[in-house]
Structure 1
Amino acid sequence: MTRLRARMPSRRQVLGAVVSLGAPLRAAAQPSWPARPVTVIVPLQPGSASDAAVRIVLEVMEVELGQSFAVKNVLGEAGRVGASLAARAAPDGHTLAALNNAIMTVLPSGASPTPFDPQRDFVPVGGIATIPTFLGVHASVPARTVPEFIAWARTRGGVATYASGGLGSPQHLATELFMVLADVTLRHVSYRGATEAAAELARGAVDSMFISQTLLLPHLGSGTIRLIGFGGARRSPAFPDVPTLAEQGVAGYDYASWIALFAPAATPEPILAALRAALRRALARPGVAERLARSGNEIWPVEAAALAATIRSDAARWRAVMRRTAITLY
């Protein structure tokens, strides 16, 4: 019988085999991303300040990552429909969501359950922008300050009105917070979008509205809308003569809508790291802050951990507001 002697492979051959096997394993573990265009679900009205901010930043991220980003506006139920769709997307980095504070902190604080959990179903990528808001009144309203407006509204016995772009819109939420903190009642008049609401305020169909700079600009020269307060913690650089609501006695008032980028939960960490780095570079690019400002936004380069903390603190505040008032969001 002839015996075949097995030859032991050399050390160099063993190492070569390990290296050649390891390369495809590494490639499988860390696939190239993005491998195809990325869809970003935006549950907000096309043409809104938040929508504009998302498009400005994604345009720069396309350059950073060498792949196209497509915005998909999915409307319905104050953002529930779009957010739910994004939460169910494959966590492969090719479907993301740009969500605002109303969707991530207010909806889940309401009485009706949401089909998604902001902290369980999404992972933060980073902040994009905030949208400052002013309290504006029609020129016919006999008030030039916030205290004068509150006093006048109280004499109206609950029939003084405010406009919004719909249930759960930034204008709606800003006014609900104002009514709780100022102890005043205003009647809600809801329109099909904030642009229509601002036009109706300028026409005198309603008495007041929390209005963004973008919505205000078309009516600024007409003298039909008077700004009496700013919703932020500090005065707006664009209108430094307009005092904040807190300065005028509405203690604790600080409201600005924000928009941020999120990925579905379980998105691999290497993809999240690449996304966060691309967003960081995009926001730091020369001219981006100025473009955001021209669209009525303020740049908000908040990192993922700080964004998660903001969501937790905002949600706690809105739960407290919900306990004091009955807000219908959709």
Structure 2
Amino acid sequence: MSTPARRLALALIAGLCAASLAHAQAPWPAKPVRMIVPLAAGSAVDNAARIVAQKMSQNLGQSIVIDNKPGAAGLMGAGEVAKAAPDGYTIGGFNDSIMTMLPNMNAKMPWDILKDFEPVSLVATVEWGLVVPTDAHEKSAADLIAAAKKAPGQINYSSGGNGSPQHIAMALFASLAGVQMKHVPYKGATQAAMGVAGKEVDTAFQGIATVTSLIKAGKVRLIGVTTPRRMPQYPDVPTVSESGMPGFEFNSWFAIMAPAGTPKDIVHRLSAEVAKALADPEVRDKLNAQGLTPRGTTPEDLGTAMKAQLAKYGALIRQNGITAD
């Protein structure tokens, strides 16, 4: 090869290498990000994900698209996140059922929450409440307990499926109250809430965010909240603890997870963007109005909390004999 030809060839190779390197080092995000939410649209986590993702999209200059993948209490959607390319363009918006309850109920999990995912941030906690149809006689948790004692096994409650947070919350409530209640599993939290509104079931524990619109529309009545103190949004609604079940508290999580192997710089950038979005007063007000408490943590703090929650729910689930589908 002549010297001029050799020079031309080397120049072409150098140009291709430079172009390849520039492409490889394109700053994240260079395209829209998909957040898989393994829960139905309208659920507490879905509502929170949409509020936070909208602000993150504005700040990043790239869309974060919510992709609902309900089914099998979240196993399938979470599995899709686990198998996704670890490049920061597919992440998961999970609740703590997926992260810390299901792994304690299924010996043949299709993925390992500690090995197949990277923690990003605990975005918010979902505050919970006890709801009944609008015309139900029960006005408090104490009334519900009394009704269940009068008719063992006759009071039924809905959930988003066997092993779902709604199932676990009510199973724990019934166990502590010493009553028997009939479980009616639905295919998601939203459908379970509509079961109460449609008088198909007598009651349910639900994330406040899931039932806010139903409460405002007068389709269900909130008779108790599971927070330590009454919620400012519902000052006239007693806590479950003060109305029949001392010390009873329950909430759930909205956390962001990424596939294992996602670069640490992208994981920490995502976490920082969550914190930035949560610092916006409008975002905080929207979350509070939905019955959510903004959090925002480092990946390391979420990992620590997740391990502690795995141990806590493991003990509770074994004690109450709760199983998943």
Give the equivalent residue in structure 2 for 1:278: 273
For the pair 1:239 / 2:234, whether they are aligned, the reply is yes
- Could you tell me whether the CA contact under 8 Å between 1:180 and 1:321 is conserved in 2? no
Quick one: which of 176, 180, 200 aligns to 1:181?
176
Unaligned runs of 5+ in 1: 1-22
- Deviation, 1:98, is 0.9
The alignment's TM-score, normalised by the length of structure 1, stands at 0.82
- Deviation, 1:182, is 2.6
Give the equivalent residue in structure 1 for 2:200: 205
- Could you tell me whether the CA contact under 8 Å between 1:161 and 1:186 is conserved in 2? yes
Cα distance in 2 between the residues matched to 1:34 and 1:210: 38
Cα distance in 2 between the residues matched to 1:225 and 1:68: 35
Give the equivalent residue in structure 2 for 1:327: 322
Identity between Structure 1 and Structure 2 (%): 41
- Deviation, 1:294, is 3.8
Give the equivalent residue in structure 2 for 1:11: none
CA displacement 1:258-284 (0-9 Å, x = unmatched): 111111122112112221221111111
Alignment-mate amino acid for residue 162 of structure 2: L
Cα distance in 1 between the residues matched to 2:187 and 2:55: 31
Cα distance in 2 between the residues matched to 1:28 and 1:136: 53
- Could you tell me whether the CA contact under 8 Å between 2:73 and 2:160 is conserved in 1? no
Query: Does the residue aligned with 1:162 lie in a helix, a strand or coil?
Result: strand
Alignment-mate amino acid for residue 214 of structure 2: P
Alignment-mate amino acid for residue 63 of structure 2: S
For the pair 1:315 / 2:310, whether they are aligned, the reply is yes
Cα distance in 1 between the residues matched to 2:62 and 2:257: 18
- Could you tell me whether the CA contact under 8 Å between 1:127 and 1:307 is conserved in 2? yes
Cα distance in 1 between the residues matched to 2:198 and 2:274: 40
- Deviation, 1:102, is 0.5
Q: 1:319 to 1:122 in 2, by over 3 A?
A: same
- Deviation, 1:252, is 4.3
Give the equivalent residue in structure 1 for 2:67: 72
Alignment of 1:86-105 (within 5 A): 86-105=81-100
The alignment's TM-score, normalised by the length of structure 2, stands at 0.84
Give the equivalent residue in structure 1 for 2:214: 218
Give the equivalent residue in structure 2 for 1:257: 252
- Could you tell me whether the CA contact under 8 Å between 1:180 and 1:324 is conserved in 2? no
Query: Does the residue aligned with 1:247 lie in a helix, a strand or coil?
Result: helix
Higher Cα radius of gyration: 1
Q: 1:243 to 1:31 in 2, by over 3 A?
A: same
Cα distance in 1 between the residues matched to 2:67 and 2:57: 16
- Deviation, 1:148, is 3.4
Unaligned runs of 5+ in 2: 1-17
- Could you tell me whether the CA contact under 8 Å between 2:133 and 2:199 is conserved in 1? yes
